[in-house]
Structure 1
Amino acid sequence: MTWTQRLARGGPASGYLMIRYLKSVVLFAATPISLLLGWLVPGVTAGLVRLANSELDRAGRYVGRSDVPQLPPATPRGSADVVTLLRDKSFKRSLWLYLGVLAAVPEFAIAMFAVFAVPSAVLSGLLWPLDPGNFNMMGVAIDSWWDVLWLVPLQSVVGLGLLGWVAPAVARGHANAVIKLLTPSADQLETARLSQRVEELTRTRAGAVDSHGAELRRIERDLHDGTQAQLVSLAMRIGVAKQVMADDPEKAAKLLDDARDGAEQAMHELRGVLRTMYPPILQDRGLAGAVSALAARCPLPVELRMGELGQVPAPVEAAAYFVVAESLTNVTKHSAAGRVDLLMERRGRELYLEITDDGIGGARINEQADLLGRGSGLHGMLHRVQAIDGQLELRSPIGGPTTIEVILPCE
């Protein structure tokens, strides 16, 4: 490594040590208040965990590691819940930050001397005649040019040595120590991952149950208001026809014709309800054919890119179909788009779906529709995707474009 390269490392190293010093000063200054209020106010101890994570992130970036895991967030607790606080592994590991406070002052001194040694030596060597005896270098007062001749080179060499060798070594050593002391254990990470997974499954399953309940209510309403009404009318017409058949055969025949039309209408409405549960086109043409049919029926031009899908489970097929159908409906109604790009392909064990339009953007996922009728469909779509452990991401800045990305597990 050349001299230039070594000296170039000194700037980032000194900057890292200086920032470490400032954080240590803040931590040290906040300690008395933390001791008084930390047990009472959950946010105080949670802030210590966040500070530890910021230290881990900065240390990882300094040593060039992107795989440094973060501490799980502080365990939620009530005010004055000391038992939960003392059991919180993230909080207890964050206390190692106070060890860095002890090293902050010497590290800061090294960083300051490494950065300012040479400029200070040059300025002192030029300005000492203005106030002889009150300028000093390396702790020695400057009274003559002879002092300048040997102190300026000496301080410059020491400063360059600190900048090129000592400061980078201290900074790297400190960063490695931070990573070693603050990184959570594998058991803690696994416990946090499982806890997060349980929370996520609880939330998604609750959403799936709500969505399923809403779907059942919709089906019940459709059957009650449509098919059931048609069947009641059909029974009444057949009953009337039976009563008048002997006296007025022509009227009875007309009533039976009306009943036949009503039966056909009821069958048509019943098929419509069944299609919303599991579209028959999926059974007949598969997912690729069903999505192609949706794209062909869309009023807007759709650029369809279909990769190899392989074997897709029926629940995933249904979810993907309804996502495409709802997305194209939303684009047609609300986006003012001129075209749509639709990509569907298999990526390993997952089905990947991306729908992009060039409309006005501003789409949001809301539990209730807004004044323009937007948002609730996307909320139902999200529940449908999460119910089978999938992921949905919406990007829709004002002015567009709008992109919906969906990942559905196929195993």
Structure 2
Amino acid sequence: MLTKILARGGPASGYLFLRYLRGMVLLVATPISLLLGWVIPDVTAGLVKLANSERYRAARYLKQPEAAPLPDALPRHAGDVVTLFKDKSFLRSLLLLLMPAVVIVELVVAVIAVVAIPATVIAMVLWPLDPGGFNLVGVPIDAWWKALVFGPLQLLVGLGFLGWVAPAVARGHARAVLALLAPSAEQVETARLNERVAELTRTRAGAVDSHGAELRRIERDLHDGTQAQLVSLAMRIGIAKQTMAADPEKAAKILDDARDGAEQAMTELRGVLRTMYPPILADRGLAGAVSALSARSPIPVELRVGELGTVPASVEAAAYFVVAESLTNITKHSAAGHVDLLLERRGSELYLAITDDGIGGARINEQADLLGRGSGLHGMVHRVEAIDGQMELQSPIGGPTTVEVILPCA
């Protein structure tokens, strides 16, 4: 019972003490804020930040999810009173100025909750040293019977304040802060839209960068591989044509080499095309394509595929390349002996999880590290975020490493 009382009263009293200190600071700063706030923009911006800090601590005390903050104060020039009084966050944060009106009462509650029990014990033990000099519930103690009657009474009062009154006052204060300093529905929606715009700007920029890098890679592969093979093929056919009349056997040998070169060029061209949109996706679907990737992996893969339903082509391609890149990374860098791969539909989302038992330590970097790791994961993130998906990497040192991907299918 006593443990529960302390567990409730301790945090509540601490919360009330800190609110008192902040209230006193506010009381001192209020005249300065009112005089200088309209001139110095940082003063009003600071008041909004203080309001958000109070909301955060109130939600934390109540053990609630983090409260939506007030949007930052509107940018303005010194003396711009029109913008100041249009700023809904500033106007809402002015309610903080009510705090000094209640923190004195809350401080009294917190002091009684914290001090009553120790003061009772001290008074009951030491009153003989100074009869009448110690008080219990306001009664001077000059006899043992008074100590034995009023001491337990003050103990009950102290326990009541510590276990019930202080927590109730603290909860009331925290709930009032969350209610009074809450942003309006319009502010919440505007903040959500702004955040969404910022996220889309970031992911689309990443997608454009990734797309540009992909085009440069395809151009490089075609230029250095397929184009070189085709140029060599044209030269061999030309030489064979010139030598056909004089030396048919040599011409035939050159044409055989040209045929081998043509086959090699076709193989390289198919490889480039597979990196653009794998034909196997159109032929066998996502489940079949992932199954083929797992079968080709040099590391054993335990594949679990649930019912996928209809999956958009862009989502299929993203999931396929995530699996392909992940298996390549695991083979090159993880020293793993086993891979678990889960692919399933969860409502309107496609869920993909790839776990290996390797050494871990994978990180998402824009540039590859000294071991060549990281840049592939960065490309995977761009590919996933480009279609509003989410990717999470967990790879502690020593393993295991898990890549989780959620892709919207609606």
Q: TM-score, normalised by structure 2?
A: 0.87
Amino acid at match of 2:69: L
Which whole-Å CA distance do the structure 1 matches of 2:77 and 2:51 have between them? 17
Counterpart in the other structure of 1:70:
68
Superposed counterparts of 1:199-278, under 5 Å: 199-278=198-277
Most deviating of 155-164 and 178-187:
155-164
1:343-402 deviations in whole A, cap 9, x for unaligned?
111000000011111111111000000001000000011111111110000111111111
Shift of 1:109: 1.2
Is 1:405 the counterpart of 2:404 in the alignment?
Answer: yes
Pick closer, same or farther for the CA change 1:291–1:246 going to 2, 3 Å: same
1:55 maps to which of 54, 57, 82: 57
In structure 1, how many angstroms separate the alpha carbons of the residues matched to 2:191 and 2:323?
Answer: 35
Distance 1:82 1:231, change over 3 A: farther
After superposing the two structures, state which structure 1 stretch, 324-333 or 48-57, moved more: 48-57
Conserved in 1, the CA contact under 8 Å of 2:123 and 2:134? Answer: yes
Instruction: Give the C-alpha shift of residue 245 in structure 1.
Output: 2.9
CA distance in 2, matches of 1:355, 1:42: 49
**Count of aligned pairs between the two proteins:** 403
**Aligned to 2:41, what secondary structure does the other structure show?**
coil
- Equivalents in 2 of 1:107, 1:14: separation in Å? 14
**Structure 1 residue 191, shift from structure 2 partner:** 1.0
Q: Structure 2 CA distance, aligned partners of 1:403 and 1:81?
A: 54
Contact 1:361 1:402 in 2 (8 A): yes
Judging changes above 3 Å, is the alpha-carbon distance between structure 1 residues 160 and 225 closer, same or farther for their aligned structure 2 residues?
A: closer
CA deviation profile, 1:277-307 (whole Å, cap 9, x unmatched): 1111111111111111111111112121111
**C-alpha distance in 2 between matches for 1:110 and 1:179:** 21
**CA separation in 2, counterparts of 1:320 and 1:58?**
38
Greater mean alpha carbon deviation, residues 335-344 or residues 35-44: 35-44
SS in 2 for 1:332: helix
Q: Deviations over 1:91-127 (max 9, x none)?
A: 5434433423332221121132134324422431231
Unaligned stretches of 5+ residues in structure 2? none
Contact kept? 2:51, 2:181, Cα under 8 Å: no
Q: Is the Cα contact below 8 Å between 2:364 and 2:375 reproduced in 1?
A: yes
Contact 1:114 1:159 survives alignment (8 Å): yes
The amino acid of 2:67's aligned partner reads P
Q: Do 1:42 and 1:79's aligned partners in 2 also have CA atoms closer than 8 Å?
A: no
Q: CA offset at residue 79 of structure 1?
A: 9.7
Deviates more, 1:80-89 or 1:159-168: 80-89
Does the CA contact (< 8 Å) of 2:44 and 2:90 recur in 1? no
Aligned in 2, Cα 1:13/1:161: closer, same or farther, shift over 3 Å?
closer
Relative to structure 2, which stretch is displaced further, 241-250 or 380-389? 241-250
- Deviations 1:53-96 (Å, cap 9, x if unpaired)? 323313532xxxx4563215535859979787766544543443
Structure 1 match to 2:379: 380
Task: Identify which of 17, 21, 42 aligns with 1:21.
Answer: 17
Aligned CA distance change for structure 1 residues 45 and 169 (closer, same or farther; 3 Å): closer
In structure 1, stretches of 5+ residues that fail to align are none
- Give the aligned CA root-mean-square deviation in angstroms: 3.0
For 1:116, the equivalent position in structure 2 comes to: 115
CA deviation after TM superposition for structure 1 residue 17, in Å: 4.0
Identity %: 66
How high is the TM-score relative to the length of structure 1? 0.87
Q: Per the alignment, do residues 81 and 304 of structure 1 end up closer, same or farther by CA in structure 2, a change over 3 Å counting?
A: farther
Moved more, 208-217 or 262-271: 262-271
SS in 1 for 2:406: strand
**1:9-408 residue pairs with structure 2 within 5 A?**
12-13=8-9, 15-26=11-22, 28-29=24-25, 32=29, 35=33, 39-40=41-42, 44=46, 47-61=49-63, 66=64, 69-72=67-70, 74=72, 89-145=88-144, 147-148=146-147, 150-163=149-162, 165-408=164-407
Q: Which whole-Å deviations, capped at 9, do the CAs of 1:241-283 have from their partners, x for residues lacking one?
A: 3333333333333333332222222211111100111111111
Distance 1:242 1:78 in 2: 79
